Amino acid sequence: MKKIILTGDRPTGNLHIGHYVGSIANRLKLQNEGDFDKFYIMIADTQALTDNANKVDKVKNNIVQVALDYLAAGIDPKKVNIFIQSQVPELAEIMMYFMNLVTVSRVNRNPTVKEELKQRDFSNSIPVGFMCYPISQAADILAFNANCIPVGDDQLPMIEQAREIAKSFNNTYGKEILVYPEALLSNNKACVRLVGTDGKIKMSKSAGNCIYLKDEPEEIKQKIMNAYTDPNHIKVSDPGKVEGNVVFTYLDVFCKEEHFARFLPEYKNLDELKAHYKKGGLGDVKIKLFLNEIMQEFLRPIRERRKELEKNIDEIYKMLFENSKKASEVAHGTLEKMKDAMGINYHKFLS
């Protein structure tokens, strides 16, 4: 069977290191392994509008921002089709047929949507489009016969609903047209949801606790120097806590043994550093400056590549439009098959 990978992001802000470790790193790995027939990354602008109807500018402006972040991080547009959801109008038509196969109670039951409703302040004005975005996402996936969907675990209910819809379509119209997708979870659990610099919740734009891939060196340093550590570790001599300490959480993710030789030769490895911190006698400034060196080294090439790419925004849009056109052709093929199965390809009635 062909392996078709599809995944996506809503363009509501720049990508940060939480995105990098949670999804981009995994995408880079898949891209470089090359074990696929097609690999799509969708910039889900239509989905972003389901809760941003009055913030079209934000969504619109972030399309190219997200594309720049992908490319700067190393996504290779020769290997991966990066496209814009709204530029594939077939997806909306496919969704329309799917909506008749999903009950209102099923829509209300989707755990991810329920969780997102809690986080958003819709009060009594929940847009229908928002409630139906899992159906739209099923269209995104099924239109491309994608069978491998690399996502975080919060997206599992979406993949499950897409499978249900595929099954329902195939059963209702008597043909095995649609392919059943499977989620591909990143196997590095520690990375799936990177905590923000405030240590409270995952990195998120609204919480203002992100280190962005595009941040300038001074911003990175300032964010690290202000990061949450252990509030009871007041004097250098105090014993410190490593758990829940953002600096150590990030070191767990980004620090390699070779960093010690270059940036902190008094210690051999992270275990030794942690032991000293726990015992007391190791100050926050020292561990923060160490983390800063590591993050600066990690983010520098990404930022520099981004600056080069920013010089030619037209090229980025051209790439996105060409890819969207190709994606549209594929989605068109699926839509035609669906309509054949449904018996609604009316133009075929002409002899």
SS3 8: strand
The smaller minimum CB distance to ligand TRP, of residues 150 and 240, is found at 150
Which of 137, 147, 197, 209 is in the footprint of ligand TRP by CB under 6 A? 137
- How many other CB atoms sit within 10 Å of the CB of residue 44? 26
Minimum separation from the CB atom of position 229 to ligand TRP (A): 30
Cα–Cα–Cα angle for 58, 63, 65, rounded to 5 degrees? 90
Stretch that binds ligand TRP, among 5-13, 49-57, 205-213, 226-234 (CB under 6 A): 5-13
The smaller minimum CB distance to ligand TRP, of residues 187 and 232, is found at 187
CB 182 within 8 A of CB 159: yes
Task: Report the relative pairing of strands 38-43 and 81-84 from DSSP bridges.
Answer: parallel
Which of 4, 5, 7, 328 is in the footprint of ligand TRP by CB under 6 A? 7
The smaller minimum CB distance to ligand TRP, of residues 191 and 273, is found at 191
Pattern of binders to ligand TRP over 26-65, x per CB under 6 A?
----------------x-x--x------------------
Name which of 34, 33, 40, 133 is nearest 334 in CA terms.
40
The smaller minimum CB distance to ligand TRP, of residues 160 and 340, is found at 160
Name which of 204, 212, 217, 156 is nearest 184 in CA terms.
156
Asked if residue 331 binds ligand TRP (CB under 6 A), the reply is no
CB 71 within 8 A of CB 307: no
The smaller minimum CB distance to ligand TRP, of residues 52 and 155, is found at 155
Task: Match 């009594």 to its residue by tokens.
Answer: 124
Positions in the binding site for ligand TRP (CB under 6 A): 6-10, 42, 44, 47, 137, 140-141, 149, 151, 155
